[in-house]
């Protein structure tokens, strides 16, 4: 697919295994916790300040990401939870923004991200992504998921778009 980096106006990001290392901690009371890397949320904030739409697309249905976002300066982000078909849900979100896959990037790590990553103009992954994702990514970070991979991928995309970080 031929595209210009300047055409990319939207970024989708997976949570588990991308924004986090994929580990769920569950207390005896059933409270779910996940670890996030603060710099990843700074990267999301920067993308938004550059006028890039950001959506989190996840199969999870917990509220951990909502609680985390409340503690950040990130505003104007959309979250798609409990997605059984990430490609369809991401595509609908793009349509709502009057965009298409040629205007989009995605950062993901696993098999359930592959269909989106195959359709978008640019895709990236953490260093510990599954091999199928790693092989199709335009950029494979040297940073592991949950440890700044989203930050690294976002900076790479911004550099390609000639945006000064």
Q: Is 145 helix (H, G, I), strand (E, B) or coil?
A: coil
Q: Collect all residues with Cβ–Cβ distance below 8 Å to 94 and sequence separation of at least 6.
A: 10, 100, 101, 103, 104
- Is the entire prediction scored with pTM above 0.85? yes
CATH of domain 5-160: 3.40.50.1000
Question: In sequence order, what are the residues at sequence separation of 6 or more whose Cβ sits closer than 8 angstroms to the Cβ of residue 85?
Answer: none
pLDDT over 80 (residue 27): yes
Q: Domain residues of the chain, as ranges? A: 5-160
pLDDT tens for 70-116 read: 888 899 999 999 999 999 999 999 999 999 999 999 999 999 999 99
What was the pLDDT predicted at 93?
98
Give the residue from 48, 105, 43, 97 showing the smallest Cα distance to 75: 48
In tens, the pLDDT along 31-60 reads: 989 999 999 999 999 999 999 999 999 999
pLDDT value at 19 more than 80: yes
**120-132 average pLDDT score:** 98
Q: Residue 42 is inside which H or E element, if any?
A: helix 38-49
For the residues of 49-64, what is the DSSP string, one character each? HTT-EEEEE-S---SH
CA distances, 79 to each of 75, 76, 134 (Å): 11, 10, 24
Residue 62 has pLDDT above 70, yes or no: yes
């Amino acid at each position: 697919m031929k595209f210009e980096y300047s055409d990319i106006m939207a970024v989708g990001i997976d949570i588990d295994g991308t924004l986090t290392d994929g580990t769920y901690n569950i207390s005896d009371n059933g409270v779910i916790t996940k670890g996030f890397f603060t710099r990843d949320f700074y990267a999301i904030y920067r993308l938004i300040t550059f006028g890039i739409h950001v959506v989190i697309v996840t199969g999870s249905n917990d509220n951990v990401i909502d609680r985390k976002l409340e503690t950040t300066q990130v505003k104007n982000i959309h979250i798609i939870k409990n997605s059984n078909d990430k490609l369809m849900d991401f595509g609908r979100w793009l349509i709502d923004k009057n965009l298409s896959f040629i205007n989009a990037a995605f950062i993901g790590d696993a098999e359930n991200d592959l269909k989106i990553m195959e359709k978008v103009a640019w895709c990236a992954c953490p260093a510990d992504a599954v091999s199928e994702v790693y092989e199709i990514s335009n950029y494979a970070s040297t940073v592991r998921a949950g440890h700044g991979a989203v930050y690294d991928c976002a900076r790479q995309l911004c550099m390609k778009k000639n945006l000064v970080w």
